[in-house]
Chains A and B, each alone.
Chain A
Amino acid sequence: DAGITQSPRHKVTETGTPVTLRCHQTENHRYMYWYRQDPGHGLRLIHYSYGVKDTDKGEVSDGYSVSRSKTEDFLLTLESATSSQTSVYFCAISPSSSTDTQYFGPGTRLTVL
C-alpha cells in the first residue's frame, strides 16, 4: 500500500467554523489531489498540487483552499464550513514517472452541523 495518511479520520464541526484536513505521504510523489465523495456523484476533484507551493483548482473548489509547503503534506482548508461540505474527503497521490495511477488515502469523514 502507498504510504498515505489522512488526519483526522472523523470530524464533526459547526457551520461557520474553519476546518483543516491533512494529507501526509511518505512516497515522495510529486502530485497530490483532494477529492470529495458524495452519494450519486462519485469522486469529484477539489484541488490538486503539482509541487511545493504549486496548486490549482478542480471542478468543485468553491469554499476550499489548499496549501503545500512540503512535498509530503497537502492541507485542505474549509475557511467557513457549511452543511453542504459534509462529505467524505479523500487524498490521492501520483508520481511523475511513467505511471498513470493515483493512490488513495483512507479518507476523512466530515460532518458539518
Chain B
Amino acid sequence: AQSVTQLGSHVSVSEGALVLLRCNYSSSVPPYLFWYVQYPNQGLQLLLKYTTGATLVKGINGFEAEFKKSETSFHLTKPSAHMSDAAEYFCAVSDSPPGGYQKVTFGIGTKLQVIP
C-alpha cells in the first residue's frame, strides 16, 4: 500500500524567503512522485514529477524537488518566495507503471501563505 505524509498543513514564509514543503511517502515498489499546486477555486496543476533518472527534478515557476530514497522523502523547494506562490500544494505518489491506470494517493495538502 502506498501513502503520503505532508508535514504542516499551513506554512507561512516571507516574500523572498526560501520555500520548503515537506513530503514523505511509503511505497512497496519504486514510486512515481508528484507535486501539484491548486490556486483558489481552480483544479490541480502539475508542478513537477519524478519517475526515474535524475533525483533532482525541476518544475514550473522555479520549484524543484529532490527524491531521497534513503529518507523516503520528496520535499519541494523554491529559493525565493513570490506572492503569486500562495496556493495549496499536494504531494502524491503512484506505484502504477506509466501507460495504464494511475492509482495515485494524495497527501492532505499544505497551504502556503506568502507574507509581504
Contacts and interface: CB of A to CB of B under 8 A. Distances in A.
Interface of A: 4, 31, 33, 40-45, 48, 50, 90, 92, 94, 96-107
A88 to B, nearest CB: 9
Q: At the interface, is chain B mostly helix, strand, loop or mixed? A: loop
Nearest to A59: B105
A113 B59 CA distance: 41
Interface string B89-104: 0100010111111111
Interface stretch (B14-22, B42-50, B72-80): B42-50
B101 A50 contact: yes
Contacts, number: 60
Given A96-B100, A100-B102, A40 B43 contact: no
6 contacts: A43-B44, A97-B98, A98-B98, A100-B99, A104-B36, A104-B44
Given A100-B49, A100-B94, A103-B46, 5 more contacts: A43-B44, A100-B32, A100-B97, A101-B34, A105-B43
B98 to A, nearest CB: 4
B109 A42 contact: yes
Contact of A42 (B42, B97, B103, B107): B107
Given A40-B108, A105-B43, A100 B101 contact: no
Contact of B102 (A31, A90, A104, A107): A31
A100 B90 contact: no
A96 B108 contact: no
A107 B43 contact: yes
Given A42-B90, A42-B106, A100 B98 contact: yes
